[in-house]
Amino acid sequence: MTDTSKTTVAVNAAKIGGITAVVPLLFSAIPEPWSTVVASVIIVCGGIAAAVPAPPAGSKWTLPYKLVSAIGLNFGWAVNHLGARVNASQGPGSQSPVISQDKKS
């Protein structure tokens, strides 16, 4: 591994460690019946943001979509961004080849 990839791995490990430490801490501050509701809202909003395509720019649905995406923690390389490309350094996503079926008479 190069130094850059080792640094990237270390930074990602620190992010994951921080998130796994902070999330239970935040949920322990919420009263018990409400923590389930909060978690359910986050999960549902994340699912909606992943399933529904983003509205076109200037649409009246842009602000609600952004709000649902933010509540669902749909930012960065979230699920709905993975369809286009796996890694930005790989360039545009690959297109599926069109296979035509030749019919013989």
Query: pLDDT by residue (tens digit) across 42-80?
Result: 999 988 988 888 888 889 999 999 899 889 888 766 655
Structure confidence at residue 85 as a pLDDT band (50, 70, 90): very low
Under DSSP, the state recorded for 33 is: H
Co-location of 42 and 21 in the same domain: no
Helix or strand run (H / E) with residue 81: none
Co-location of 78 and 39 in the same domain: yes
Co-location of 36 and 58 in the same domain: yes
In a domain, residue 17? The reply is yes
27 and 39 Cβ atoms separated by less than 8 Å: yes
- Cα 70 to chain centroid, rounded: 10
Co-location of 62 and 36 in the same domain: yes
